[in-house]
Structure formats: C-alpha cells, structure tokens
Amino acid sequence: MNAYEQYMKEVSQPMRDELIHAGFEELTTPEAVDNFIGETKGTSLVVVNSVCGCAAGLARPAIRESLSNEKKPEQLVTVFAGQDREATARMRDYFEGIEPSSPSVALLKDGQVVHFVPREDIEDHDIEEIVANLTNAYNEYC
C-alpha cells in the first residue's frame, strides 16, 4: 500500500465506523457482494458510502436517523466508493439501469432495487427530507 492509499484508509475509517456502529456490515470485495445478493431474502438497505461532505453532513446522519423508524430493512450493508472500488462496482452492477452515484442509498427486496436515493436527492436537501424519503420507502416495502 502506497502512502496515498494508507492516508485515505486512515481518513475514511471514521466514515466507515459511523455506519458499522449503526449496524451496517461492510462488503469490501466483489465476492462478498455476490454472496450477499445471492443469499439475502427480504429487505436490505445498501449504502454507497463516500468521503464527500454531503455523505458526512447529510447522508450518514439521515440514514442513521431513518433506522429509528418502526419499519426498517432487515439487513444493512455498505460499500465504500473510491476505497473498495471492486466491491462498489459489483454492487452497482446489481443496480440495473441506475447511474452510479455516491453517496447513494438503495432499498432492495430479495436482491432487487425497489427504491433508490441518488446523490442529487441527498445534496442540497436537509436531513429531515432524506429521512422522510427513506422512511416512506421502509413503510411501503418493509
């Protein structure tokens, strides 16, 4: 690992930890993504995490808050754009017809995307709007 990769790993670790501490499992390899999609039934929340400001100030706080909803996804997983590139690319392969976006949030039911929140629905929105977007989807699909 070169100095840049080491630096980015250190910088991104608190951003990873924020979701891990909220109950998310990190998927760091394409194989882990394939296993998750192939074996998971029911509802899953997939967060495409990133180091950008809107992930830190909006996406992660809103995602954590949304999980206090009565109805919520059964599984919580995350991939990290720009860090775990192969895992992120593989997860995006399962988001058929959806442009890559980070940060972003996908609600899956039996491995199929039923609701997607791209960066454009995170950036320039307030936390309450993002929470409402997610909890409305949970109430419909979970």
Name the active-site residue from 19, 45, 46, 54. Answer: 54
DSSP string for residues in 75-93: EEEEEETTTSHHHHHHHHH
Contact 72, 66 (CB under 8 A): yes
- Copy the structure tokens of residue 137: 């989807």
- β-partners of residue 45 are 76, 107
Query: Which residues, other chains included, contact 8 with Cβ-Cβ below 8 Å and sequence gap of 6+?
Result: 51, 82, 83
Active-site residue identified among 48, 52, 59, 117? 52
104 strand-pairing partners:
48
The secondary element (H helix, E strand) that includes residue 53 is helix 53-54
Catalytic (active site) residue 142: no
Is 54 among the residues known to form the active site?
yes
Catalytic residues: 52, 54
